[in-house]
Structure 1
Amino acid sequence: MIRIGKLRASPIFFAVIGFFAIVDGSRFMLYTLLSAMLHELGHLAALRLCGAPVEEVVLRPFGINIVMGGGRMIGYRQEIAVALAGPLCSAVLAAAPYLWCVLVRPFEDALFLSAINAALTLLNLLPIGDLDGGRALRYALLLTLSPDTAEGAFDLVTLLLLVPLSVGAVWLLITTRYNFSLVLVCAYLLARLVRRRSGSPAAL
């Protein structure tokens, strides 16, 4: 791990960023990174609103892990709110360019900005693994079930949804020969699930 102040980054994070920069060094790559950063800032803002001090932010290939300071914990309902704050932020960012074009005047790249933020919203709302929807589902299950039952149900839902999503991602890659990012996301989520079920530290 590489550390700068409260920020820590997995080497795989830099590898993924470098890969996408090489494949697509256009301004659209910059828009995508900026949209992802604002999405994550939505989580941070929600966490601060819950009164939780942030000790460390860990950058991972497809998201961040926020470590709260002083062993501070927040409730499951607050965890759900924090998880959904990112997609909410992305949804607002998806609507903003469209509304600007309608109410003010059209501008170049508005469609891409709306599309990438809409994609971030929809992808992250999927109730799978470490995605925001998955985190929200996990804490919702923990609200109503015993920890062991909740974790088992969560992993089962993740697997049942991740398999067809992965198949669809591979099919899309073969068909378009371009949409490889979804394949990488699915591979990452699958690796995280395997490590989680095996009891290994989730260092990815």
Structure 2
Amino acid sequence: ADSLTEVLKEKERLRSEVRALRRECEEKDKRIRELEREVERSMRRIAELEEKLAKREGRIEELREEVNAKKYRTSFGNLTLEEIKQIYEEKKDKLTTNPLNWLSAVLFDNPIAIQEVATALGLQDSSSPSSSAAAPAPARETKDAAVRRRRLMEEMDFKRLAEEWNCSEEEARRMVAEKLGLPSSSSSSSEEASSSELIKRVRSIIEGY
């Protein structure tokens, strides 16, 4: 009888252990399923982030293309940043004045354009105020500035400017005169005479600087 009692007790003990192990297995299975769901959510999140990253990279590339395609109004006509860089590289060794002063004249003293182009050319930090690029030249550079302006006037192609600005050559001359702070040229019987007169007036004003 005692032996049977011991067997029954052992059997009950084993049943309790089995129940406990089953509960433990169920809890572990439940935790595994939770972890699997977390992994699925993480994978979806990773996929979403990768998609956003791809879109941002695409947008960055679009912005780069827009910057490269953007044209600035210059004394050489409407040019892209890359075209301005090429002109600067060709002329920088021959400049007799501060490159920022040359750039300021080329861009008709447009502060935003000056800051963008100067930063791209490494002439100015992007955090620097754009007004600094258009600051007046020191007294010792006055003569150089006059020479620079005369050269710019000689290099201007009014016909090309008129085509790019979608206006007549006379209007192009007038706009250039306004940009330089000069009175608009009066109409004349011939475009050649008008151009010559404008250049004479520009030079006479520059000579007085």
Q: TM-score range by the shorter chain?
A: under 0.3
TM-score by length of 1: 0.26
Which of the pair has the greater relative contact order for Cα pairs under 8 Å at 6+ separation?
Answer: 1
Higher share of residues assigned helix: 2
Query: Rg: which structure is higher?
Result: 2
Higher share of residues assigned strand: 1
